[in-house]
Amino acid sequence: MKAFNDLADFSSEEIAALLKLASRLDSAPEPAALRGKVLALLFLSPSLRTLASFQAAMTRLGGGAFVISPEMSIHGIETRPGIVMDGAAAEHIREAVPVIASYGDAIGIRAFAERKNLANDLAETEFKALTDLIDTPYINMESALNHPCQSLADWKTMNDLDIPAQGGKFVLSWAYHPKALPFAVPAATVHMAAMRGMDVTVLRPEGFALPDAVMEKAHAAAELSGGSVIETDDRVEAMEGAHVIYAKSWSSARHYGDRIADEKARSELYHWCVDDPWFDNARPDCRFMHCLPVRRGVVVSDKVLDGPRSVVIHEARNRMVVQMAILHQMMGAKA
Amino acid sequence: MKAFNDLADFSSEEIAALLKLASRLDSAPEPAALRGKVLALLFLSPSLRTLASFQAAMTRLGGGAFVISPEMSIHGIETRPGIVMDGAAAEHIREAVPVIASYGDAIGIRAFAERKNLANDLAETEFKALTDLIDTPYINMESALNHPCQSLADWKTMNDLDIPAQGGKFVLSWAYHPKALPFAVPAATVHMAAMRGMDVTVLRPEGFALPDAVMEKAHAAAELSGGSVIETDDRVEAMEGAHVIYAKSWSSARHYGDRIADEKARSELYHWCVDDPWFDNARPDCRFMHCLPVRRGVVVSDKVLDGPRSVVIHEARNRMVVQMAILHQMMGAKA
Amino acid sequence: MKAFNDLADFSSEEIAALLKLASRLDSAPEPAALRGKVLALLFLSPSLRTLASFQAAMTRLGGGAFVISPEMSIHGIETRPGIVMDGAAAEHIREAVPVIASYGDAIGIRAFAERKNLANDLAETEFKALTDLIDTPYINMESALNHPCQSLADWKTMNDLDIPAQGGKFVLSWAYHPKALPFAVPAATVHMAAMRGMDVTVLRPEGFALPDAVMEKAHAAAELSGGSVIETDDRVEAMEGAHVIYAKSWSSARHYGDRIADEKARSELYHWCVDDPWFDNARPDCRFMHCLPVRRGVVVSDKVLDGPRSVVIHEARNRMVVQMAILHQMMGAKA
């Protein structure tokens, strides 16, 4: 495997094989599989779960990881092309990325959306500029529009819990948050659920539709898998018979990069906090999912998050489990 | 071993077995004992020795560790229960701790005393709130009232140096420090020396007696071990025939949580700096111990710290050695 | 090997053996060579390549590393001798270094020049004060006047590229930089190229001659190896027939420690930026070397750095490769 960048790069069979490998490595550890192997971890954006789970995954397979983030460097890392570097930054990303990659058998890269220009972020301009610098196998640890490790973990979590693929109803719901957040998780999630063959409803208030390109990609996945994708702002309709609600806040595409306008657009939407009444017409065993970190009392009530519907810790642990499979495929001995 | 939280949870025989295992692992390394095993390290308070020694211990046993501290997270970690998280913090400790624990076969947690309310700190309210969130085996890397890894290392150091248990005289002395420090080390130390069967004198100025609960626990340990515990503010009496002086500063229990009043109470006590004359009526081979970090010229003179009485580096190295034994017991294969 | 501190401590044969071992470990990994072994990494100055490459090297050999930098400690680390520590710093380097070293089978230390007093820095006063505190084998990860890991990597890079030793022409050129930088890399580099037997030209503007002690050490190495060392401020003369240009900025020895005077001395020298015309009378295959980080458009043009002459990524990767050999010699089983 040369890259783990997007679930869309894999067939359903390949995903199934990865998830099978993940389960096997979880139940039958292979502490010598990657001995002497090195994973470089480059965080251009902050992290907790990703930082911890990748290091843990490498240790469990007998290898190791090292972590680089820009604040470790002498004076930050310059990213602008063609610039005369006579300011604070002493190093350019054009050297930093290939050098860091050269120490690893694979590299994980995290770089959140710039959120200045939607077209650029939809095209993954920044992330591609980084991966174009290297030949080393790489893992997308969250980019402007993707978070494939999270999506693979979420897929596995639904399998673990026997939530049906064909015929399973998956609601991706916008939730309130004081800040305009990126599209990475919602874009990856709607595509993942569609690719899994589920009937997906995107529930969001007026003005917070996902970008067309995101919806088109999800529709294409549904077409292949036999699933479906619809959008609505009607919570009752959305939650009818749902197996899963996956909550996440995201920006308004209309006001992309305009923090003030986005805040205004969401200012009256603080009732979009998932709470018990949301589940009134869902399936009795409807699950609550979230990628974490999650704001209590803002995105979801304490009662739901601490209650039996919540599977957020299971999802988070599965990050480590599926990443073991990715790393094993990427760096392990060929059969 | 499900938890290493307090020496009082173990019998003398169990401590002896741990120390024997520690010595064995130091002289006959077992670099495959914990291969593929992961130690999660969560630091809610700063660290140097603990940070380094736990990572080194895991490597020596063939496993690995990862480190999480709140400043790595996006916007800090919220700890207050029931709060609406619409401020800076994007993650709550109720998710962070179980997630981090889920990546490890064991977790080490450090959380210093809040020092707002003595009863809460004596009851380890904060630390228990964290460990109640998890089923993963855990290690107390310093809490409000305990530092069991330090105490186990100190116990081993005295064994290594043939300082007698029964009949050995151990002086725990208050020392000057510009800041009001927690009770964790003095509380753990007085209990450890008493549990080891030593004749313990707590030497401290008027107003700096250890809390009653701390002294009662030490007395109970002495009763079982055949040791004794007394308190005094008379240095000459305290040091008479001493085998060891263990220096440490701590807060005034009277002014707990009141920084200004505590500073006033200690303002005239800067002569409580361990120096050569303190040893005039001690045993000629009386040792100087301290858990580090130590302020030179404040807690102890350069002459004592750099002289032959000082065993502080030996104590610090023993942190790694005893932690190997704890980790081996906690995560190693059952016999 | 008790220390890797200076290439001058080794014979040419010993260097050749190290480089042979490095190549072997790169092509035939030994993931069990250092299992259970620990490298302590102490950074008193910032790092990216060194931080990453040492951790990667230890993992590849089956051991592990831990990293300590002063900002991890409670309140910084005091370095002044004999001081009463009643200020912010809670720990003295006299404890910190021996403790950190005690957890490792070897320790790497980085401490940049203080740049207050040239004689002190030429004598490596600060670095020796640190290594005098320990018996643990140590590696110089850059000191006031040395960077032996970088030099060994550069030596290997030239071997890899078949750049001749005897008869090879090596130009070490000063370059513009907005800040007064230390002598560590140029001092190590001029000595390394001379020790390799090359004909070395130090190209620098008036006022930026390297300190006499640095040049004398290089001359002594050239005498032994059959190489030569000259200085000039004439670029055309310097570049005539060159195999390699190694660019690096450094301080003016005349104004050492006087930042304002140094800035004034270099204020008109921004044309000292390596660019295509510099290579007009060099060998057609003349290489561009730099230790990184490098300021684009300041030290070297984008065209040269991104062009086929540039071997900077190769040099950086060789840091890991030669460090594997050093670590193997220092901590591996004796034959």
State both tokens at C73.
């400690």
Q: How far is CA C48 from CA A239, C52, C97, C178, C313, in A?
A: 49, 6, 21, 20, 14
Q: What is the pLDDT of residue B75?
A: 60
Average pLDDT, stretch C256-285?
Answer: 96
Q: What is the pLDDT of residue A169?
A: 98
Average pLDDT, stretch A45-68?
Answer: 95
Average pLDDT, stretch A165-176?
Answer: 98
Residues C23-49 have pLDDT tens digits of 999 999 999 999 999 999 999 888 899
pLDDT, averaged across chain A: 95
Among C64, C72, C92, beta carbon nearest to B59: C64
SS3 of C10-48: the string is CCHHHHHHHHHHHHHHHHCCCCCCCCCCEEEEEECCCCC
CA distance C27 to C256: 44
Average pLDDT, stretch C248-261?
Answer: 94
Scanning the structure block, which residue is given the tokens 């049906």? A164
Q: How far does Cα B90 stand from its chain's mean position?
A: 31
Asked if C298 and A98 come within 8 Å (Cβ–Cβ), the reply is no
From the CB of residue B248, how many other CB atoms can be counted at a distance below 10 Å? 22
Chain B residues within 8 A of A29 when measuring between CB atoms? 36
Average pLDDT, stretch B243-269?
Answer: 95
Give yes or no for a contact between C41 and C51, defined as CB atoms under 8 angstroms apart: yes
The HSE-up count of residue B38 (CA atoms within 13 Å, CB side) is: 28
pLDDT, averaged across chain B: 95
* Residues shown for chain B: 335
Look at A131-145, A250-264, A318-332, C75-89 and tell me which has the smallest mean pLDDT. Answer: C75-89
DSSP string covering B133-188: T--S-EEES--SS--HHHHHHHHHHHHHTT--STT-EEEEEE---SS---SHHHHH
CA distance B73 to B99: 13
Q: How far does Cα A277 stand from its chain's mean position?
A: 28
Give yes or no for a contact between B106 and B331, defined as CB atoms under 8 angstroms apart: yes
Q: What is the pLDDT of residue A335?
A: 47
Nearest CA in chain A to B75: A46
Q: What is the pLDDT of residue A16?
A: 98
Q: What percent of chain B shows pLDDT beyond 70? A: 98
Asked if pLDDT for residue A190 goes beyond 80, the answer is: yes
Could you give all domains of chain C from N- to C-terminal order, each with its CATH number? 3-146+319-331 (3.40.50.1370), 162-310 (3.40.50.1370)
CA distance to partner chain C, nearest, from residue B62 (Å)? 6
For B28, which DSSP code? Answer: S
Confidence of residue B333 (pLDDT cuts 50, 70, 90): confident
Q: How far does Cα A24 stand from its chain's mean position?
A: 23
ipTM given for this complex: 0.96
Scanning the structure block, which residue is given the tokens 């990572």? B55
Residues C72-127 have pLDDT tens digits of 655 678 888 999 999 888 899 999 999 999 999 999 999 989 889 999 999 999 99
Asked if A66 and C56 come within 8 Å (Cβ–Cβ), the reply is yes
Asked if C298 and A38 come within 8 Å (Cβ–Cβ), the reply is no
Neighbours of chain C (3+ CB pairs under 8 A): A, B
In chain A, what's the furthest Cα-to-Cα distance? 62
Chain C residues within 8 A of B32 when measuring between CB atoms? 35
CA distance C160 to C171: 18
Phi, psi of C170 (to 5 degrees): -115, 120
Chain B residues within 8 A of A48 when measuring between CB atoms? 68, 72-74, 91, 96, 99-100
Strand A106-110 relative to strand C138-140, pairing: unpaired
Asked if B297 and C37 come within 8 Å (Cβ–Cβ), the reply is no
Chain A residues within 8 A of B133 when measuring between CB atoms? none
**Strand order from edge to edge, sheet including C199-203:** C228-232, C199-203, C169-174, C244-248, C287-289
Residues A98-146 have pLDDT tens digits of 999 999 999 999 998 988 999 999 999 999 999 999 999 999 999 999 9
Q: How far is CA C114 from CA A18, A21, B142, C124, C263, in A?
A: 53, 53, 36, 10, 17
Query: What are the residues whose beta carbons fall under 8 Å from the beta carbon of B79, sequence distance 6 or more?
Result: B92, B93, B126
Asked if C91 and B292 come within 8 Å (Cβ–Cβ), the reply is yes
DSSP string covering B268-298: T-TT--B-GGGGTTS-TT-EEE--S---BTT
The residues that bridge with A274 in the sheet, in sequence order, are A300
Asked if pLDDT for residue B335 goes beyond 50, the answer is: no
* Chain pair A-C, CB pairs under 8 angstroms: 96
A135 interfaces chain C, CB cutoff of 8 Å? no
Asked if pLDDT for residue A334 goes beyond 70, the answer is: no
If contacts are CB pairs under 8 Å, which of residues 50-109 in chain B contact chain C?
51-53, 55-56, 58-62, 64
Asked if B40 and A56 come within 8 Å (Cβ–Cβ), the reply is yes
For C166, which DSSP code? Answer: T
Confidence of residue A26 (pLDDT cuts 50, 70, 90): very high
Q: What is the pLDDT of residue C335?
A: 47
Residues B21-39 have pLDDT tens digits of 999 999 999 999 999 999 9
Chain B residues within 8 A of A290 when measuring between CB atoms? none
Q: What value, to the nearest 5°, has the Cα angle with vertex C104 and ends B306 and B16?
A: 80
Chain B residues within 8 A of C63 when measuring between CB atoms? 59
Residues B219-255 have pLDDT tens digits of 999 999 999 999 999 999 999 999 999 999 999 999 9
CA distance C254 to C261: 9
Average pLDDT, stretch A307-327?
Answer: 98
Phi, psi of A66 (to 5 degrees): -130, 155
From the CB of residue B299, how many other CB atoms can be counted at a distance below 10 Å? 23
From the CB of residue C224, how many other CB atoms can be counted at a distance below 10 Å? 13
CA distance A295 to B216: 43
Residues C199-243 have pLDDT tens digits of 999 999 999 999 999 999 999 999 999 999 999 999 999 999 999
Based on the number of CB atoms within 10 Å of its own CB, is A42 exposed (0-12), middle (13-18) or buried (19 or more)? buried
Phi, psi of B31 (to 5 degrees): -70, 5
Q: What is the pLDDT of residue B334?
A: 66
pLDDT, averaged across chain C: 95
Query: How far apart are the two ends of chain B, measured CA to CA in Å?
Result: 13
Q: How far is CA B93 from CA A138, A222, A300, B76, B128, in A?
A: 31, 37, 15, 10, 13
Among A29, A46, A52, beta carbon nearest to B66: A52
CA distance to partner chain A, nearest, from residue C227 (Å)? 31
Asked if A56 and B66 come within 8 Å (Cβ–Cβ), the reply is yes
Q: How far is CA C27 from CA B188, C14, C20, C23, C167, in A?
A: 52, 20, 11, 6, 29
State both tokens at A69.
């983030």
CA distance C312 to A98: 10
Q: What is the pLDDT of residue A333?
A: 80
Residues C151-206 have pLDDT tens digits of 999 999 999 999 999 999 999 999 999 999 999 999 999 999 999 999 999 999 99
Nearest CA in chain B to C75: B46
Asked if A99 and C302 come within 8 Å (Cβ–Cβ), the reply is no
Q: What percent of chain C shows pLDDT beyond 90? A: 90
State both tokens at B51.
């940070």
SS3 of chain A: the string is CCEECCHHHCCHHHHHHHHHHHHHHHHCCCCCCCCCCEEEEEECCCCCHHHHHHHHHHHHCCCEEEEECHHHCCCCEECCCCCCCCCCCCEEHHHHHHHHHHCCCEEEEECCCCCCCHHHHHCCHHHHHHHCCCCCCEEECCCCCCCHHHHHHHHHHHHHCCCCCCCCEEEEEECCCCCCCCCHHHHHHHHHHHHCCCEEEEECCCCCCCCHHHHHHHHHHHHHHCCEEEEECCHHHHHCCCCEEEEECCCCHHHCCCHHHHHHHHCCCCCCCECHHHHCCCCCCCEEECCCCCCECCCECHHHHHCCCECHHHHHHHHHHHHHHHHHHHHCCCC
Chain C residues within 8 A of A85 when measuring between CB atoms? 295-298
Phi, psi of A45 (to 5 degrees): -140, 155
CA distance C35 to B284: 43
Query: What are the residues whose beta carbons fall under 8 Å from the beta carbon of A301, sequence distance 6 or more?
Result: A273, A274, A275, A276
Q: How far is CA A278 from CA A23, A173, A235, C232, C285, in A?
A: 33, 11, 8, 79, 70
Scanning the structure block, which residue is given the tokens 């914990």? B34
Chain C residues within 8 A of B302 when measuring between CB atoms? 82
Phi, psi of C274 (to 5 degrees): -60, 125
Chain B residues within 8 A of A313 when measuring between CB atoms? 95, 98-99, 102
State both tokens at B113.
């005393």
CA distance to partner chain C, nearest, from residue A102 (Å)? 6
Among B64, B83, B92, beta carbon nearest to A64: B64
Residues A277-292 have pLDDT tens digits of 999 999 999 999 999 9
* Identity of the amino acid at A39: L
Among A47, A302, A317, beta carbon nearest to B82: A302
Q: How far is CA B41 from CA B5, B46, C21, C192, in A?
A: 15, 12, 36, 42
Q: What is the pLDDT of residue A70?
A: 72
